[in-house]
Structure 1
Amino acid sequence: MKVSLLHPRELAFPPVDQAQRDGLLAVGGDLSIPRLLEAYRHGVFPWTEDPVTWWSPDPRAVFDLAAFHTPKRLVQKFRQGRFRITRDAAFPAVIAGCAEPAPGREETWITPGFVAAYTALHREGHAHSVEVWEGETLVGGIYGVALGGFFAGESMFHRVTDASKLALCALAAHLRGAGFTLFDTQVATPITRTFGAVDIPRKEYLRRLEAAVALPARF
């Protein structure tokens, strides 16, 4: 099956069941706010910038918010009072932290173009961050995209042990309390699986996505 080439001025994506086995659906287009929102509403996300590639893997990894697992040691660590958690207090700094090289991640997909695109989404109220502070120093965080009761987690980072995990747990708790029903993590990793990430068929994901984006939840 050939990969679809997106029209530079039209926002429509091909049906996701046309994606290749690895999830690659289309190439081209841009990272404009309208195109990004159209993508997330239809279960599609970008992964590279030059060229822009669009993906819809099957299966899809999600967190079950009702069953999200927060390890007791992280709860105890937060209760020690060493860390402070905020939301949308430093989005540009969080995405910059996610773009930094780190041990085992010397290269990152978060290029300057991605930083600019998602920062623009944040200014328009569609992208959000959770920050973890040690004193006045940002030591970890996570960011993603929210539409209705749907949240797409994009990336997280840490500069001290467990800071990104604390951000993830704080985000999940906030989403659950705010009435979100779908927390997308795209492709599961060993770390996200320890917090309860599971794979679901793309058809099930799309059904849940349609219901979630129609909810009046607000981040």
Structure 2
Amino acid sequence: MPILPPSEFTFPDPVECDPEGEGLICIGADLSPSTLFEAYSHGLFPWFSEGDPICWWCPEPRCIIRPQDYHPSKSLLRSMKKMDYKITINHAFDTVIRSCSLPRSYANETWISEDIIQGYSALFDAGYAYSIEVWENETVVGGLYGVNIGHGCFGESMFSTRTDVSKMAFYTLMLIGQENQLPWIDCQLVNDHLLSLGASTLSRQQYLNSLQDVVKQPSIDWKKYQDSVFSSKTIAQWASLSA
């Protein structure tokens, strides 16, 4: 894993500077790979509207999902076995993050600006971000992207243009998390959709305590997965990834 140069910025302790648990920790800095690495290593992530200054958050409570506790629905498994989608890892990061940046049916705006895209793309090139893609023929129809530092896996966003395909990418991430014995995958903010997938919460202090241990562990060997193309039919049974 490449070593990034030290960040020019030092982030404050979230608990000390935000005792009320409102979540906003600080404003400023940049979105360079070193700064993003420093922020995630200390429990912060950027979230702001285009044109606004960069805002760094560490919410109370923290939404996480434990891969070992995740169980896909029977309907999702039926869909994966029925449809002949292909699933890849780290084959089309730019396509995924740009697809995630598009406005949704329930919102006209997106927080994934061009600056965010450039920052996370550079982090991907440095080896600290990942993407999972679901393909229909030669088109990416769903997927997700996130950050990985040690055993810390941080989900950022997902998208789909076909029924259940973002859930297929999410299930693939859970399987990777299970195989690598990740204690949790960070989902950041609580929402009903994540809770429906099996997410739960940790207090901010519990999350930060756990984070300091997991980021010191070996990182996921993404090359193990990215050299292959998987069928949704076989991924549903974990046979392809566990071989």
Give the TM-score, by structure 1 length.
0.92
Contact persistence 1:182–1:212 (CA under 8 A): no
Please name the residue that 1:43 is paired with. Answer: 43
1:122-141 to structure 2, matched below 5 A, reads 122-141=124-143
Please name the residue that 1:158 is paired with. Answer: 160
Q: Determine which structure has greater relative contact order: mean sequence separation of CA pairs < 8 Å that are 6+ residues apart, divided by chain length.
A: 2
Runs of 4+ in 1 over 6 A off after TM superposition: none
Aligned-residue offset at 1:81: 3.8
1:82-101 to structure 2, matched below 5 A, reads 82-101=84-103
Contact persistence 2:28–2:55 (CA under 8 A): yes
User: Equivalents in 2 of 1:171, 1:65: separation in Å?
Assistant: 8
| Corresponding residue pairs, total | 211
User: Equivalents in 2 of 1:198, 1:169: separation in Å?
Assistant: 16
User: Equivalents in 2 of 1:179, 1:216: separation in Å?
Assistant: 11
User: Equivalents in 1 of 2:105, 2:190: separation in Å?
Assistant: 20
Aligned-residue offset at 1:180: 2.3
Please name the residue that 1:175 is paired with. Answer: 177
Aligned-residue offset at 1:82: 2.1
Aligned-residue offset at 1:179: 3.1
The residue identity in structure 1 corresponding to 2:193 is: I
Match of 1:53 among 42, 45, 55: 55
Give the TM-score, by structure 2 length.
0.83
Q: Between Structure 1 and Structure 2, which shows a larger proportion of strand residues?
A: 1
Contact persistence 2:96–2:144 (CA under 8 A): yes
Contact persistence 2:79–2:164 (CA under 8 A): no
Gaps spanning 5+ residues in structure 2: where? Answer: 1-6, 223-243
Aligned-residue offset at 1:11: 1.4
Q: Secondary structure at the match of 2:210?
A: helix
Aligned-residue offset at 1:101: 1.1
Please name the residue that 1:14 is paired with. Answer: 12
Please name the residue that 2:73 is paired with. Answer: 71
Q: Secondary structure at the match of 1:174?
A: helix
Deviates more, 1:172-181 or 1:65-74: 172-181
The residue identity in structure 2 corresponding to 1:11 is: F
Please name the residue that 1:205 is paired with. Answer: 207
Contact persistence 1:148–1:180 (CA under 8 A): no
Gaps spanning 5+ residues in structure 1: where? Answer: 1-8
User: Equivalents in 2 of 1:100, 1:170: separation in Å?
Assistant: 23
Deviation by residue 1:130-154 (Cα, 9 ceiling, x = unmatched): 0011122110000000001111100
User: Equivalents in 2 of 1:136, 1:180: separation in Å?
Assistant: 31
Match of 1:112 among 92, 111, 114: 114
User: Equivalents in 1 of 2:44, 2:144: separation in Å?
Assistant: 20
User: Equivalents in 2 of 1:157, 1:81: separation in Å?
Assistant: 18
Deviates more, 1:40-49 or 1:18-27: 18-27
User: Equivalents in 2 of 1:89, 1:181: separation in Å?
Assistant: 26
Please name the residue that 1:62 is paired with. Answer: 64
